Every structure is written in C-alpha cells, then in structure tokens.
A and B are shown apart, each in its own frame.
Chain A
C-alpha cells in the first residue's frame, strides 16, 4: 500500500509537530510535509482542523487526524505492522505511557512558557514550579533507560521535543536543567542517538532566537 497518501500540516519549530515527525520516522512512513504559517493559515488547515485551527494535522487518505498525542497513537495503530511498537502491548504499561504523555501535556508547555514570559518574583516562582515538574520526570526515569519500560515509546516521544527548549530556559531563566536533572539529561542524550529524533527536532539555538524576538516585540 502506497503511503504517499499521507500529508503532514506542520510548523518546523513546533514541539507538537516534532512528536508526529518522530513517530512517522520511527515507523518509516513516507509522507508529504507542508509547512504552515501561523499568521496565514492555509484553507486546507482550516478545513481539516476547524475546531482548533492548529498544527500538526495528519491527513491520511484525505481524512484528518488532529492533536499530536492522538496522531502518534493513530500512527502506531495504523502502521502496527512496522516496528518498533510505539506503545507497549501490556495494558498496564500502555496506561502508564498514556499517563505520562498526558502529564507532559498538562505540565511542560505552560510551565516552560511562564519562564520566558515573566520577570522577577513571578519568574522565580515559575522556575521553581517547572523544576519541580522536571524532578517528577527525573523520578519516573529512575534507573530506567526510558520513561515507561525498557524501550523508546509514546511517553518519550511526547516529551523529547521539549528538550530543545532547555537551551532557551537555561539562558533566559538562568538555570542549569542538565545539572539539576542528570537522569533527564542522560535520557535526552539517549533519545538523541535515534535518527528519528535528531532528524525531527528543530534547532535549539533557532528556537532561542525566536523567543528573544518574541520578547522584543512584547517589549520585555
């Protein structure tokens, strides 16, 4: 079956888009990549994701799948014949994978954003809260190579794109995430050994420049 009928509407700098790119790469799925502009969304994007009008959107046989974690599961289930499996087969471990992907969704994005959009006391509070969240992930990793079980999977895919934000957070927040969370740092290194990850992640320095630009525009 030709997988040319797979289109990804995306934004290269997006951590959510990166999740999908990693999943597609892990499964060896060939697809057409289309870069969207946030301030000039394509008619196709608005048609395929009328509810949220956001990327990423995976269009498979003309039908859209939205929300990055949902897309990753869809990819795993649709191309289940391609290894590796992205979710464990054991129901309990699957639930753990979903729980941690959900945890990343709830805690990482907003928590990190707060650090570069605030100053002074508010920023200090945001930094502490964010480090507490990372420490929870540090605890979950423990002596394991990956977040859930022994293989790279769904929970890791949900979190790994955010590692490109660490450079920005360390610089703007005057933090040292790698020093405070050595297990997480080791896990990042381990994930970066995968071609699917290195090929899918945006450049950390470019992201930093983007954030600086955003701050300048807002007069911060």
Chain B
C-alpha cells in the first residue's frame, strides 16, 4: 500500500519549512495543503484540535502536530538520511539545542523585531545567539550536524532565512557578521542545501510580510 502523506501549512512559514526540509531529506512524496490562517479549514481543526496551528503532517490518515515532534516522527517512521544523531548522548544534545532555539533564541529575536531593533532587545537576542555561535565554533564544522544538516540546523531555519528578511524590512541588525561570523557563514550554507532551497519562498515576499506586519515604528 502506498504511503499517503499530507502536509498542512502555509508557504512562508519557518515552521512548515522545518517539515518540508525533513520530508525532502528522506525523499518522501507528499501533498501540500495550503491553509489560510484567517480561515482555517475543517480538516486542520480536525487534525489539530489542541493548537489549531500549522504545520500538521497527516500520514495515512493519522495526524502529527508541532514541527519538532513532526521532524522526529519523520526520522522515526522513514529510513534513509538520518536527521538525529545515532549516539544517545549526541541525540540529547541535538534535542537540547533545538529546544533552546524554540524556547530562548527565537522569542528573543522576535522581541528584537517587534521592538524595532531597540537596543536592550537586540542585546538580549544577541546573548542567546552567542550560545549558537559558540556551539558552531566548538564543532568547527559546516553545520550544527557536522558535515550534514541535522535536527538543530532544521530547528534554526528561522535564523537562516527569515531573520535576514526581517532585518532588511525594518532596517535593523541583530545577526551582524562581525559578531557572528560562524552563524553568518552557516546561514549561507544552510539555505543553499537543495532540501531547504527547493521550498523556500522568494525573500522579497518575506521582507514584504515583515514590513507590513511590523514596519513603521
């Protein structure tokens, strides 16, 4: 029986991008169901009644929600390119950094964005980014996953592509090259990966989104 895989999301969502990257890594064919968040479909509400959010992956009729839970599910359910490290300690470290990105890093960056680059907010965001910079420094490799991308790289998608667009839209700078040379290099490497690149929406669209949503201080 052929697998039926559907992904509910909207193009332009960094969280949806995490899932498409994971699906592409495993070479999984899927149907993308575009959602209008101002008018959520009955299916979305049925498949994610708890959070009513995207992305939602539906595999043979069974739904999975929350992007990092979905990415781990994809790694569990399909063989092929591994997304998490095999070693249990390294696995725990990867989960730690992915959670750090969600719990600490991204909210701090968002605060800097919504506060239009206010000094204190930017400083706090940079404090969190420094941990990631150090992590890349220690690894000394192309990606958080080493020679290839892993869960952490995928979790950091927002930083790789969306942050730069937000900075341009609002004329602010959070991820400066001199402060964060390793992350800056990583951003270029990450969005150049075919599995990521294939599903990225044009940068101008994201810039326009941030400008419209948060522009004009």
**Residues of chain A whose beta carbon lies under 8 Å from any beta carbon of chain B:** 51, 60, 63, 65-67, 70-71, 73-74, 77-78, 91-92, 94-96, 98-99, 102-103, 136
Contact = CB atoms under 8 A, between A and B. Distances in A.
B74 to A, nearest CB: 9
A63 B64 contact: no
A63 B72 contact: no
A78 B88 contact: yes
Contact of B99 (A60, A65, A67): A67
B73 interface: yes
B59 A92 contact: yes
17 contacts: A51-B131, A60-B89, A73-B95, A74-B92, A77-B88, A91-B76, A91-B77, A92-B64, A92-B73, A94-B72, A94-B73, A95-B69, A95-B70, A95-B72, A99-B64, A99-B69, A136-B50
Contacts of A103: 50
Nearest to A51: B131
Interface of B: 50, 59, 62, 64-66, 68-70, 72-73, 76-77, 88-89, 91-92, 95-96, 99-100, 104, 131
Contact of B73 (A51, A63, A73, A95): A95
A70 B96 contact: yes
8 closest cross-chain pairs (CB), A and B: A91-B76, A95-B73, A91-B77, A77-B88, A74-B92, A98-B69, A95-B64, A65-B92
A90 B59 CA distance: 13
Contacts of A98: 66, 69, 72-73
A77 B62 contact: no
B65 A51 contact: no
A5 to B, nearest CB: 13
Which among B68, B92, B95, B100 has the highest number of chain A CB atoms within 10 Å?
B92
A98 B95 CA distance: 12
A121 to B, nearest CB: 26
Contact of B76 (A71, A74, A95, A136): A95
Contacts of B92: 65, 70-71, 73-74
B88 A74 contact: yes
Contacts of B100: 51
Which among B72, B77, B89, B100 has the highest number of chain A CB atoms within 10 Å?
B89
B88 A66 contact: no
A96 to B, nearest CB: 8
